Structure 1
Amino acid sequence: MSDDLTAHELATALHELAMANETQPPVSAAGIRRRAVRRSRRRRTTLALGAGATALALAAFAVSLKTGGTPEHRQPPAATAPRLPSPSPSASPSPSSSFPGPPPTATPTGIAIAGTVNLGKQTLTIDGRVMPITSGFPTLVAAGPLTVVAKLDLGRGSVDQLPEASCKVAEPYAVELRDTNRNSIYVGSLACSARTGSWIGLDPKDAVWLYNRLTPGDTLSAVTPKA
């Protein structure tokens, strides 16, 4: 009996001790339910925000793929060096500017003139050398420039317009000119009979000098006497 009483007393004492040290919950059951509801709402809100952020990230990634790479790895544009103006080339003097000379006379059509045949004064002038016309029958049909078309050696053959039997030649070298109507005029140390053809006679030395000076394509101006 004493042992059972002692056990009963011990259990009672322990129960009283537990009741005395029991801590009451600071929140009632209704408060706990309200907290649970708020926590559930916050959890859903967090999940919704996380899903939205994920969707935005996926959209940005898709846009970066279309534009050729992610913004993080896109290389900045290379800096373009400023274009400097190219230096202007230095003008090198041409032979004509280094050795200036008198410009050639030109006709109104722009043809360079090497000399002048003045039938009024009976002279032929080239490079300042005035050569008297000693004889001739220059039947110029067209006034205007005369063009050198050939250089002839009369000692090796005759010209149709100047029969050998009709002309005396001191030097065989002659120059054929042609007027604007394509009529030929022969210049040299000639002395032909009248109306043999169109020819201009010069002193033999002048005829040789003229032959060596002119080349085909040169042009002489023609001055005819006034009527």
Structure 2
Amino acid sequence: MTTFGKTILPYLSFTALSSTVAFFLCGLQICHRIKTRGSSEGTSPAPFLLSFLSCGLFIQYGLLKDDDIITYTNGIGCFLQGCYLLYFYIMTRNKRFLNKVIAIELCIIGIVVYWVQHSANSHLTKQTYVGNYCIFLNICSVAAPLFDIGKVVRNKSSESLPLPLCIACFVVCFQWMFYGYIVDDIVILVPNVIATVISILQLSLFVIYPGAPPGVFPEKYEHI
């Protein structure tokens, strides 16, 4: 690590942790929307489920790397996503499906924890395997906005994209990309490079396709 990296790392670690926790709190908005509607219908639990599993595995990766920032950040994330999932579970009618998915995720996390604690493999091997799982889950997460980009291009309007959330996503991903580069951690670097590029694409759409679709009046567009 360079002298510059050692100097900036404590500040970057703090800002990355703070901004990520703030980003995790965006789930409160989804929960508020569910509360307002009185039901979880029309809202997918997928973001909560994927984030809960990802944070659970990243906690193990952080422990293997002896990286407190990764461990603490994902510990907070796992707790918050668990709370969101619990609220979603209370409000949903399709509890049977959610029971199965949550059980599978808890089994996956449990198996990984057991394997890390009891496997005869070397510490480096464990770190590599858990890191690969984390990369896969993170890439799945960061690829989700590609569907929104396709929708915007088809409609020629950025109305469906939440600008504050897109900016927040860019800030968080850029910080973790920089963090991964400084500490030379490919598990952190690769997914966040992809996420940063996708975030830049999303933000560019607000310039390319501002406002409502061509030929659609704002009052009409509100009801589409």
Q: Could you tell me the TM-score, scaled by structure 2's length?
A: 0.17
Higher RCO, 1 vs 2 (CA within 8 Å, ≥6 residues apart): 2
Structure with max Cα Rg: 1
Q: Could you tell me the TM-score, scaled by structure 1's length?
A: 0.17
